[in-house]
Chains A and B, each alone.
Chain A
């Protein structure tokens, strides 16, 4: 990585949903209801549980487990196939859809611990590199159960 690369501030592909830090790490953002404690992804205006509008924006845990997944073999022109897509349950009680990388599809299973990884994810209309997220098998945190 060159000095120039380090100087360029990474740009989130969806700033309202993925916070990307200068060092290339990041968090998914959502809402927590201050009234009943429910969490939502993405950010909401009011709580679907108790209808309170007293919500705060929070950073979600990067670690979760795979609820279900698929290998997508036909998609839109915006995505090169094949890729793995999975729903991941986070400890706050939200389920987030994301691509799963860093392993062979055959190594993925329901219940697999995964961790969020901020990665290059397409570019904007001006050609700037955008940062998105994928989940990768979590070899440090939860490990294999």
Chain B
């Protein structure tokens, strides 16, 4: 089985784009990725497009804009892991030997579709009684605070850290640093979470060109980064009520990825994790085994997850700071990993990383711990 490399990456400005479409944003990201890879776009043999709410054949609209129509294309939906799932599908097509050059693109235009809280699908029994995504994470936050004595200020520090990183990222939705006080006085959404504990409604797209080992050696020019693992799991049904302060789905997906990549959590130099809410970052990094359970909030307080800390988390600004265009998010994480591993991350560059990890987790359905989870490991 061939190795898979990421040869080129690109993303649009994340933010509010009232005059643009998801396809238009996806096409821009794809073009940036092709230029970054330095390849003739006619080498692209297949495409996977991740999005959630953009309607039929969004991927085909993207390819039509860039003159690539005709190649095999699948649109992929896996809630907030849609883009990451597109990356995985692209990697599988290469590992299977079917293709040598495949593009994964993720896109979402949310600001013309949503205001306020996302909810599970309205047919879901939990949506029927008033579940919203912020409410579910708020309940997890309350339980975590009770079990592990996390303070409200510690939780706010995660949003402060990620907004600070985003301020160093020219493509991030938010460019302004905030304080703990700003978080605590922002509008209440679902107690104890306030507006600044929540990722914003964002438009944006990202793309990654994946290639086989032979193409990477021929065209990579030393800039290709190896995608050592791309793991995916769906959430399992609870046979009995389980802890909402730990994520077996994240742990199990990470174990799959660590085994495939041949690296352990102690070898990860930095990670982009699915911080859709401040509390989510805590649950992710502990599920991934990057910090012991119950200890992440204090580690953030000590600066361990800062850009200059011993294990930087969400150097791009994460979903809280960079923004969260659902389908775009998983691919944008890969963009950040590649830029950091190449040493092209500008003012937010981490010192000499070798192993980067990206984690996405999305969706909610009654009775299952989570819907779709991905963990990707990139190795320089």
Contacts and interface: CB of A to CB of B under 8 A. Distances in A.
Given A48-B236, A95-B241, A85 B129 contact: yes
Contacts of A89: 241
Given A42-B125, A97-B129, A73 B241 contact: no
A68 B134 contact: no
B143 A38 contact: no
B191 interface: yes
Given A68-B244, A93-B241, A95-B238, A73 B125 contact: no
A145 to B, nearest CB: 15
A14 B143 CA distance: 29
Interface string B230-253: 000000111111001000000000
A95 B140 CA distance: 14
B367 interface: yes
Interface stretch (A2-10, A53-61, A75-83): A75-83
Nearest to A134: B129
Contact of A42 (B116, B134, B138, B366): B366
B139 A86 contact: yes
B239 A38 contact: yes
Contacts of B366: 41-42, 97
A117 interface: no
A27 interface: no
B70 interface: no
A103 to B, nearest CB: 15
A74 B139 contact: no
A42 to B, nearest CB: 6
Contact size range, A? 35 or more
Which of A38, A44, A49, A85 has the most chain B CB atoms inside 10 A of its CB? A85
A94 B135 contact: no
B255 interface: no
B139 A79 contact: no
Contacts of B116: 74-76
B146 interface: yes
Interface string B105-133: 00000000000110100000110111110
B189 to A, nearest CB: 5
A79 B131 CA distance: 10
B190 A70 contact: yes
Contacts of B129: 85, 97-99, 132-133
A119 B139 CA distance: 23
B143 A110 contact: yes
Contact size range, B? 20 to 34
A67 to B, nearest CB: 7
B189 A73 contact: yes
Contacts of A105: 191
Given A73-B189, A85-B129, A132-B129, A68 B140 contact: yes
Contacts of B130: 72, 75, 78-79, 83, 85, 99
Contact of B135 (A70, A93, A133): A70
Contacts of B135: 70, 72, 75, 85
Given A42-B125, A97-B126, A110-B146, A70 B138 contact: yes
B142 interface: yes
B20 to A, nearest CB: 26
Nearest to B118: A76
A67 B126 CA distance: 15
B265 interface: no
Contact of B132 (A48, A76, A132): A76
23 contacts: A14-B125, A17-B125, A40-B367, A42-B125, A44-B237, A48-B237, A68-B142, A68-B143, A70-B138, A70-B192, A71-B188, A73-B187, A74-B132, A74-B134, A74-B187, A74-B189, A75-B117, A79-B130, A85-B130, A85-B131, A86-B139, A89-B241, A93-B241
